[in-house]
Structure 1
């Protein structure tokens, strides 16, 4: 569940800097009260329909972008029955352009303009320069390289193949006119499917051989920024974007496919922004909803999933709420394995 909200400056005093000047939010992370026993229907409704909540603001924003993309920036299915360079290049260009706009906007305000300095920034340093663990000895350039050389082409390839299959009737198609209820419910289900898929694939690539060969590239980014979200090895991109294969077996509309892939592509910039909050104006801030994943980059063995309504980390004992007690539990869990 997104924790995005507005609050005044008076609450900033509840937050603090940790040792070594790392920023820690004043409230602990909580998993959404949906899959709980005994059931709490009022709390569950608030999760889905409240503000902030499951729908508002982030999932609705990504849905609106997907709708705009389908109606204004995507060829019709008849055109996509044949693999032609013209429409495939259009999809590649619009994916690159939209991602540059969204991730670049986060980066511009927080890391180029430095509009709020280091206020609410988790890590006390700016992105690394002059270190050979990153291509070009520059963290931001390295991240942008992997984003546009690997992530965007693989995202686009999955999208093109899926559209081509739907256009030719090889993949199951869902008409909104015939099935309006399922059409809407599938949009609500896609982020939940993403939560489960991400947890499973993420745990898999933390297996030591795969980690060393593949996932370590992403974890070079301890001090994360918006461009870090999709800075991955191509093998990891293949696994990450394979969430769209759901639509190869479940009847779907092309707009569902776009929503799935754009959610996979745009949410990582928000999830790696590196700041607890963005300051809009004096006294008004907006939560970025990225603390959950920041803790994964900080501690490595926790929060493999995301802060959605499916509490995967809580179920499998890898949830970290940001407290010292959670760090102690983590150490008790992993230290015996390290010694063995």
Structure 2
């Protein structure tokens, strides 16, 4: 495919789409029914249906009977961990193999023209981004993923929380399945905004932002604290009346669903004339500019709070205005502090 038919590349080799990034036409006023109907298939395909089916597969083919899950036992816990690790290796690795190792589509549709393997940095273990990202994913991410999963499944199995059966609650659970991405987006935005606060950013979130040029293995490459709270979106199903399969879907949506935002390409080519949209541009801009696009665009939180960047020149100007205002506030605060210290010294 000719990526220049869809966007432009600058002198550095970075590609950007012709159309500015936009949020989903869901929470818009006035409503846009035709635009919503055109967008609706993207709410399900290809990712959301895949993550939902994976939750069903885990329930029927990986997990034991609920009676077994009432108690901790190495057998079923290790089997679950192995299934999670193999699935992450295959799913994340498929994108990595195609786009970053074989480079089957070169840098077509790649936002950042360079590949992480071409750049070394002391910010990473062994100065290699992919090595660092994989160590963090498998070293802390997968154990935390599995630990959260085990706790929530035990809660359902022991009756600590309500377990709604599909046969008795089909409509409610169907609606809940539709709301899983919305729960994730709300959870992610609130968490993401919080960990950009100075001390938390320095000690926790900066680990993830070391990957300025994200690739598939960057998806879950986080500080363990961030991994716990990010994957902890599954805990919402201990509060909301739910079903363990719905809880698994919520977890898989967060875990496997981190891939699209970090794949680094706007489109993944499937053939000469076909490709799948990654919907990664909004989050790529966050990695590029740090203080924009704290959400993924399903809910227009960033538009509501004035932190949205659509990748256009106008978006760039708006971001610079915010930076200048922030700089002015910090300078004024520093001056006030300096003035107070001078007054106290004089007294």
TM-score range, shorter chain: over 0.9
Structure 2: distance between partners of 1:233 and 1:10? 38
Alignment correspondent of 1:62 = 51
Deviation at 1:280, TM superposition (A): 1.6
The equivalent position to 1:300 in structure 2, one of 290, 298, 308, is: 290
2:305 is aligned with 1:316? yes
Trace 1:166-315 onto structure 2 (pairs within 5 A): 166-308=156-298, 310-315=299-304
Q: Which runs of 5+ in 2 are unaligned?
A: 331-347
1:142 aligns with 2:132: yes
| Distance change (3 Å), C-alpha of 1:11 and 1:99 | closer
Q: Is the 8 A contact 1:34 1:43 kept in 2?
A: no
Q: C-alpha separation between the residues in 2 aligned to 1:19 and 1:212?
A: 32
SS in structure 1 of the partner of residue 116 of structure 2: coil
Match of 1:4 in 2: none
Preserved contact between residue 173 and residue 251 of structure 1 (Cα < 8 Å):
yes
Aligned to 1:108: 97
Q: Is the Cα–Cα contact under 8 Å of residues 2 and 108 in structure 2 kept in the other structure? A: no
Q: Residue 19 of structure 1: CA displacement? A: 4.3
Give the alignment partner of residue 82 of structure 2, picking from 93, 101, 106: 93
| TM-score, length basis structure 1 | 0.93
Equivalent pair of 1:118/1:124 in contact (CA under 8 Å): yes
Matched, 1:40 2:32: yes
1:115 to 1:182, Cα distance in 2 relative to 1, 3 A: same
Radius of gyration: which is bigger? 2
2:326 aligned with 1:334 = no
Structure 2: how far apart are the matches of 1:159 and 1:57?
24
Tell me if structure 1 keeps the 8 A contact 2:309–2:316: yes
| Runs of 4+ off more than 6 Å | none
Counterpart for residue 3 of structure 1: none
Q: How far off its partner does 1:113 sit?
A: 0.7
Residues of 1 paired with 2:323 and 2:317: CA distance? 10
Residue 152 (structure 1) shift: 0.8
Residues 1:160 and 2:150 aligned together: yes
Distance (Å, rounded) in 2 between the aligned partners of 1:334 and 1:170? 47
1:29 aligns with 2:18: no
Deviations 1:210-246, CA, capped at 9 Å, x for gaps: 1000111100001110000100000111211221111
Cα deviation code 1:65-91 (max 9, x no counterpart): 221121111112111011111111111
Shift of 1:23: 0.7
Aligned equivalents of 1:60, 1:130: Cα separation in 2:
37
1:132 aligned residue:
122
8 Å Cα contact 1:223/1:274 also seen in 2: yes
Task: Assess if the C-alpha contact under 8 Å between 1:172 and 1:249 holds in 2.
Answer: no
What are the ranges of 5 or more consecutive residues in structure 1 without an aligned counterpart?
Answer: 1-8
Moved more, 278-287 or 209-218: 278-287
Between the two proteins, the alignment pairs up a number of residues equal to 328
